[in-house]
Amino acid sequence: MDEENPEEDRQSPLIYIIAVFLILLLLLMVFPHYGVKLDPRPIIIPELKDVLLFDIDLSNETKTLKSRKDFLDFVNPRDPIVKNTANKIVTIACGGEKVCHAKAIYYFVRDNFDYVADPVNFEYVEKPQDFMISGGGDCESGTLLMANLMESVGINSQLVFIPGHAFLRIKLVEALDKYKREGWIYLDWTCKDCDFGEIPISNTKAYKSFLEI
């Protein structure tokens, strides 16, 4: 009969412990890497003064809205001011991930502009440059700015209308499903406590109509 080796018995558990530790260490190194790729976050959200680096004048352009399709007259993602502003936001905040671009634009509008209601019985909609100069406006004006910025970096957007309110939804295949409702990501810049993909419960339950941009 072979004699047992106490030294080997003492080493065997230690080998297993070291192996498990190395496996856990490898997992910790791999999964955060892929997590960042799947759900990238902006490094910093720029302030308005960081992206509006040129002088712009108020357009003094107003329009009577006869139908919701008239909102499209305020969407021009190829406008140099819009495009330069969007490029600056995503360059400061992100790498090349489109999901990060969308988050940076949403948080930029949410954090840098104030909601200001229109006069009673008067619907005032301004161009994106006017909204940026003033630093605030109503829900439609801020949503139009966000739509312009999203579209200018290649993110498909739709205006969402509910009784007395408007916000945005975007189509972003690359984003995680946790942000989506029926395949869309809903964004309400007037909700200052809402993270990316969150909107107030009252908005989710309201009757909605949509306008493709």
Q: Domain range holding 107?
A: 39-212
What pLDDT, on a 0 to 100 scale, did the predictor assign at position 36? 47
Tell which wins on pLDDT, 89 or 27.
89
Does residue 6 carry a pLDDT above 80?
Answer: no
Residues 18 and 71 in one domain: no
Residues 184 and 125 in one domain: yes
Summarize the confidence of residues 76-92 as an average pLDDT.
Answer: 94
CA distance 176 to 45: 21
Tokens of 170: 């975007």
193 φ/ψ angles, rounded to the nearest 5 degrees: -100, 0
Summarize the confidence of residues 94-120 as an average pLDDT.
Answer: 92
Summarize the confidence of residues 64-77 as an average pLDDT.
Answer: 87
Residues 69 and 99 in one domain: yes
Q: How many CB atoms lie within 10 A of CB 129?
A: 21
Tokens of 210: 């949509």
Residues 13 and 48 in one domain: no
Residue 56 DSSP code: -
Residue 4 DSSP code: P
pLDDT tens-digit profile of 159-176?
999 999 999 999 999 999
Give the rounded percent of residues in the chain with a pLDDT score beyond 70: 77
Does residue 184 carry a pLDDT above 80?
Answer: yes
CA distance 148 to 152: 6
CATH classification of the domain holding 167: 3.10.620
- Give, in order, the Cα–Cα distances in Å from 36 to each of 32, 54, 91, 103, 194: 6, 33, 17, 14, 21
Summarize the confidence of residues 5-16 as an average pLDDT.
Answer: 58
Does residue 110 carry a pLDDT above 80?
Answer: yes
CA angle (82, 87, 90) in 5-degree steps: 125
pTM over 0.85: no
